[in-house]
Structures are given as structure tokens and as C-alpha cells.
Amino acid sequence: MSKDNKRFKLKFIINCIYIFYKKYSVYILLYLAFLNVLVSCNSFDTEFIEIEPIATHFNGMEFISMQECMACHQDIVESHMQTSHYNTSFKTEATTFEEILKTHPNEIRLDDGTTIVIRNEGDFIYQDFYSRGNQSPVIQSPMEITIGSGFRGQSFLYWKDDGLFQNQGSIIGAMEGWINSPGFASQINNTRAVVPRCMECHSSYAPSIKANLNRFTNQYIKEDVLLGIDCQRCHGEVKEHVLFHKKNPEVKVAQHILKYSELTQKQRIDACALCHSGFRQPAWDTEERKFVPSFSYQVGNDLDDFLVKSNGNSSKKQDPEIHANQIKLLMDSKCFKMSDNMDCATCHDPHAQERGDYQNFSLKCISCHQTQNHTQKTLSLADADFEDCTSCHMPFVDSQAMKVDLDLKDLTPISIRNHFIGIYPEK
């Protein structure tokens, strides 16, 4: 075949393709668009629909990673991850303590002659116990879990097989030094069991390893312990919610999730009271003939069915449980009694770290108290700060329940913000 014939045939084929495309281009584009949607749907199913739970509650609820929440609520989740709630427990990292190990005396002396030395070794940090006159440690205890966000201090837990225990050495303040953990006698005793009622306020979930879920056990299914307070502690099970909105991204109204706006005032307060109403014993289940196990309460339940009611006279402004009884203090306040719908979220944003933002809290006060009824004596105070209502009306009070061993001879109470909103002439 000659070169001219070849060129003619090639030109003819190209013209045919061009005429075909020009005539049927709309159909071709529609087909390609349909094919793209089809491929996307198949990818959607395999990539998004299957969500692997990271733990399963004994009531059947499946916990999923907070990363699933972040896909749609990135700002809220990232903000929540800065809060004291989220940071109430986390895996200890030795790098966190590099500065204090370099700049502080990293030892604690106890009254019985024991010395606790804190040291790091590679990626781990330990508490070594030396009895009087002994050159070798009698106990070497790892610091595996940190309890507390680090404002007033931090304590540490360690695993012994499946048992969870508290280390005897703690940090006071924001890395200000090491102390004998609150409640420990000033003698060697590194075997305080961490029971489920403790973990109920310091983790999202910690399943007991025993079938009867006895509240006194400190043995847990380690791989199912979820540290920090995550979204699901307050919003309930979210797996179905996530699946629905991944399948239906055009639906903007939240489906299949607990909404606080639909809860009663008591239900909203109970959600916080689980951990902020003082030390309350588990209620007794008369049918099962055992105490109601920790982690049974879910937001929306009546908390009194799960924990025994606390006592105390907050109106005297001297409640012995001021360390953790903010709920009763608030509810005994005139502000609360005069309000139709006040709850903790009236002043606190649970998704934000607000500590120290006094002006923000004052704005919450002013939203109800738009006129100030201060006496001439109050107005004349040199240190009066009218952008900080809480310092006068919610002053710090020494806790009777929480005291720390700053020296060998005396216990020092921790000062806690008083949630009994009132007038304190002595302050």
C-alpha cells in the first residue's frame, strides 16, 4: 500500500471518530458521569460504611474513634481535645516530663524514711522506692497512665497484670514539684487499687474483667479501656449517627444522636452530676441483689437510680465535699433557684477550655444581672474588678476532702472554686 493510501485511510478514520463524537458527545459525557457516580458509590461503601468499633460497652453500645466525629465536626473535636475533660486521663509519655526531671529535685521523702525517686528510662518513666539505708530499690513502679489535665496536679497509674493501681508519687500544680499522692499516709504503700467508680469519672470506658462487675474490683480488660472523656460519654452511641450522615451527606439536621436541647433540666444536670456531685456510693439493685455497676448510667437516665444521693448544707457555704460537689452548691444558690432552666452549660461550654477566662464568665453573669447592686463600700475597694464577678461571688475555698502532703508534718488543703454563688462579705 502506498504512503498516500495510508495517509488517506488514517485521515478517514480520524474524521469518522470526530463526526461520531460530535453527534454523540452528550451521551458519551452522560455515560462517563454515570460511571463516575457508580465508581464513587462503590468506593463509598467500602471506605466509609464499615466502621470498626474500638470497644464495646457491656450494654452492647459500640464505641468508635473520635476521628469519625472529626470528619464532620473538626473545630468542635479539636477544641474539646484541649479541655480538662478530655485530658483527665491519657497514656503517659516520658517526653512530657523532660523539663521537670531536669529542673526539680525528682524525689519524695516519706516519714518512714522511704525515698521515692522519679526517673526516665528510654520511652518510660518510673518511680523507684528506696527504704531507709537501702541502696537498691525495693519497688520499681512504671507510670503508665496520667490522671488529671495538669492544672492542680497529676497522679499516675500503673498496670500489674490486669490490675490497675495508683502510684504513690504525684505532681503538684503545673509541674511545680513531686508530692506524696493525696490520701496516702507518709509511708511506703504503692498498692492503692483504682476501682471502677474512679475510672467512671476519669475515662470514657473501663470494663471490669469480672462477669459480676463488682465495684470493688480493679481488674479491667486493658485493650478496651478508653482514656479521656470523649464525645460518646455525653452524646451516647454515635455509630449509627455517623453511618447515616456518611450515607446521606445532604441531610444537615442531626439524626440518630442524643440532643441536649431535648433533655429536661434535671437530665442535663445529671449528666454533669455523675462526676461533679461529690463522692456518691453506687445504688443497690434490689432485683439483681448487687450494687449498680459503674458505667451503667447513660445521659438521659435518672442519676438517682445509679448513685445514692449526696448530703451537705451548701447554704452555709462550707460543704465538706467542695472538692467535687459543684452541683449541689450550684443548686442551693439563689441564682439557680430563681432561674427556670439554669444548668451547668449556662455558664460552661463543655467543648472549650475556658479556665481563667474571667471576662467570659462575667458576661454570663451580666446576661442575667444587667444592673449591679453594689454597696458604696464594695465600690471603694481598691482591688475590685468588675470584669471578674467570680472572684467575689464564687471565691476559692479550702477543700476539707482534698489535702496534700507538702511537708512531713502537715497537710495543706487544695483551694477549689466555690460554686455556691452568693455574697461573701469576708472576701
pLDDT > 50? residue 238: yes
What H or E segment, with its residue span, contains residue 331?
helix 326-331
Binned at pLDDT 50, 70 and 90, residue 23 comes out as low
Give residue 76's pLDDT.
96
The predicted model gives 379-402 an average pLDDT of: 77
Comparing 14 with 372, the larger pLDDT belongs to 372
Burial class (CB in 10 A: 0-12, 13-18, 19+), 200: buried
Backbone angles phi, psi at 242, to 5 degrees: -65, -45
pLDDT > 60? residue 276: yes
pLDDT > 80? residue 48: no
pLDDT > 80? residue 372: no
pLDDT > 70? residue 35: no
Binned at pLDDT 50, 70 and 90, residue 318 comes out as very low
Give residue 241's pLDDT.
96
Comparing 232 with 426, the larger pLDDT belongs to 232
- Tally of CB atoms within 10 A around 142: 17
- C-alpha 94: how far from its chain's center? 21
Cell of 349: 461550654
The predicted model gives 373-383 an average pLDDT of: 68
The predicted model gives 199-222 an average pLDDT of: 84
Give residue 175's pLDDT.
84
pLDDT > 50? residue 281: yes
Q: H-type helices in 223-264, by residue range?
A: 231-235, 239-247
The answer to whether 108 touches 116, Cβ cutoff 8 Å, is yes
How many angstroms separate the CA atoms of 64 and 199, rounded?
A: 19
Burial class (CB in 10 A: 0-12, 13-18, 19+), 34: exposed
Give residue 408's pLDDT.
62
The answer to whether 97 touches 106, Cβ cutoff 8 Å, is no
Question: Over the chain, what is the mean pLDDT?
Answer: 85
Backbone angles phi, psi at 415, to 5 degrees: -85, 130
Binned at pLDDT 50, 70 and 90, residue 44 comes out as very low
By percentage, how much of the chain surpasses pLDDT 90?
55
